[in-house]
Chains A and B, each alone.
Chain A
């Protein structure tokens, strides 16, 4: 366990029937720290992210928030602890428009208890314009929107509300170069505000530029932890592919 950490994952395992997706993973994120989680396809990154956001419970192991053990029974539990997630598969209701998705689960109401559609539309529009000024036609089913626009909704809603830990599972996968750069700026801004970020990405160069620490997952096991400013692209790629053991390179915390 790390002192002053926002969250600690201790000895997390996850079993899906015969598949062991995670085999005893330890991980901590501190306030204002960007931890990058990298690894090959199927390494278990998204499973780890989903455990941390309450989508399903770990098979064994412990989640601690502010040092205290917690059990998430649903994603709304994780939200209570200000843990917000941008899922790899975006988790938007296709039939609803952008404001409805943006405020899903925490709708604004008028004094009489009805939906305050006008206010929600305005706020959502403003939040989305911050990410992408060209994104104005937001009141139509998100099914009709581009991958980038949908991603913008997922990002905007994750940061709009009270957030202390932000989990981003490949947030730039559907974005063009300009929007990707914007997300990079956003991560820096949030970090400066003291928000902890768990960033999952396949873009090693981005990871090196944005992260403080880089954690490498291979076949459900942590195989390396690097400090971003002391390493380079080759070393990270090497570790993702070959997966040196933690103790082998002395990177144990």
Chain B
């Protein structure tokens, strides 16, 4: 049986890259492997990572979701506005943003799979729609929640074995989504959508429903990421948290998710997230600021797309 085969078994070079990077980083700087720094690197990837998992699923279905950055912002603002001080408000501050994220995904999904809208432009439009709405809601001001409940804060700040809870949430999601994509009917159908949507339809796959579900999942995951940001900071400038869709897209592509659909795995995206986290960590240690990091991300995305398209053309 050949190795580089069906999408859920497709072997990407991202894991070896991660290994080499980790070894390289620890050789270059001694404290890299310290438990504190490892925890920091792991946590750094969590927010983008959760967004990237959703992006991966939409991409496997053959479409794009560039509205997720705005959804992250919406959820973070909303969670704080709901002022999670006691049990009920904490539950609401987690559930309502996630539900709203799912609704945004639903609208995206309807536009793309029902109406046949171009998914890149439609979700960019949605991005600005949501950002505008959120900023209008808070008049561009900071939002803050005083005395957030213990549970809400612990989502991202409490630690188990020195590692923040949010990291476990991310790992749990990676496992759950991996199983979903590789071993359930739904996951199989998402791969079929990305492979050949007309073939999937003729084979009896409910393509519209399945496709919409990918967007709903993506929206809910992005909102969850926003809730985690809220729990981490408690006080935020909405204009400062944005643009998560781009590193998420970069991570998905770096992990081998095909831009034309049908290929990719959540676990590989997670590996790519850590690759980026290690690079960012090293760049931060070396004191490179946001603009340079932006530039590097663009280069990494381009290089990754080019590499995989070359690899596929060769096989």
Q: Identify the A interface with B (CB < 8 A).
A: 53, 55, 74-76, 79, 85, 87, 90-97, 100-101, 104-107, 109, 113-115, 117, 137, 139-141, 144
Pick 28 A–B contacts, CB within 8 A, sort by A: A53-B202, A55-B202, A75-B201, A75-B203, A75-B204, A91-B198, A91-B203, A93-B191, A93-B192, A93-B262, A94-B195, A94-B262, A95-B262, A96-B7, A96-B192, A97-B6, A100-B188, A100-B192, A101-B203, A104-B188, A104-B192, A104-B199, A114-B179, A114-B183, A137-B2, A139-B5, A140-B5, A141-B6
Q: A96-B7, A107-B188, A109-B185 are in contact. List 10 more A-B contacts (CB 8 A).
A: A74-B204, A93-B195, A95-B6, A97-B5, A104-B204, A105-B205, A114-B179, A115-B184, A117-B183, A139-B1
* Majority secondary structure of chain B interface residues (helix, strand, loop or mixed): helix
**In the complex, are the beta carbons of A79 and B185 less than 8 A apart?**
no
**In the complex, are the beta carbons of B199 and A139 less than 8 A apart?**
no
Residues from chain B with Cβ under 8 Å of A117 in the complex = 183
Q: Which of A74, A94, A100, A104 has the most CB of B within 10 A?
A: A104
**In the complex, are the beta carbons of B194 and A115 less than 8 A apart?**
no
Residues from chain A with Cβ under 8 Å of B202 in the complex = 53, 55, 75, 85, 87, 91
Residues from chain A with Cβ under 8 Å of B5 in the complex = 97, 139-141
Q: How far is the CA of A79 from the CA of B200 in the complex (A)?
A: 14
Residues from chain B with Cβ under 8 Å of A94 in the complex = 195-196, 262
A108: min CB distance to chain B, Å: 9
Q: How far is the CA of A117 from the CA of B183 in the complex (A)?
A: 8
**In the complex, are the beta carbons of A91 and B199 less than 8 A apart?**
yes
A63: min CB distance to chain B, Å: 17
* Chain B residue at minimum C-beta to C-beta distance from A79: B204
Q: How far is the CA of A233 from the CA of B263 in the complex (A)?
A: 48
Q: Identify the B interface with A (CB < 8 A).
A: 1-2, 5-7, 179, 183-185, 188-189, 191-192, 194-196, 198-206, 262-263
**In the complex, are the beta carbons of B191 and A95 less than 8 A apart?**
yes
A26: min CB distance to chain B, Å: 25
**In the complex, are the beta carbons of A104 and B6 less than 8 A apart?**
no
* Chain A residue at minimum C-beta to C-beta distance from B199: A91
* Chain B residue at minimum C-beta to C-beta distance from A137: B1
B179: min CB distance to chain A, Å: 8
Q: How far is the CA of A57 from the CA of B204 in the complex (A)?
A: 16
**In the complex, are the beta carbons of B203 and A140 less than 8 A apart?**
no
Residues from chain A with Cβ under 8 Å of B189 in the complex = 104-105
**In the complex, are the beta carbons of A139 and B6 less than 8 A apart?**
yes
Residues from chain A with Cβ under 8 Å of B205 in the complex = 104-105
Q: Which of A75, A92, A95 has the most CB of B within 10 A?
A: A95
Residues from chain A with Cβ under 8 Å of B184 in the complex = 113-115
A113: min CB distance to chain B, Å: 7
Q: How far is the CA of A128 from the CA of B279 in the complex (A)?
A: 48
Residues from chain A with Cβ under 8 Å of B203 in the complex = 75, 91, 93, 101, 104-105
A161: min CB distance to chain B, Å: 10
Which of B1, B192, B194 contacts A140, CB < 8 Å?
A: B1
B143: min CB distance to chain A, Å: 41
B100: min CB distance to chain A, Å: 29
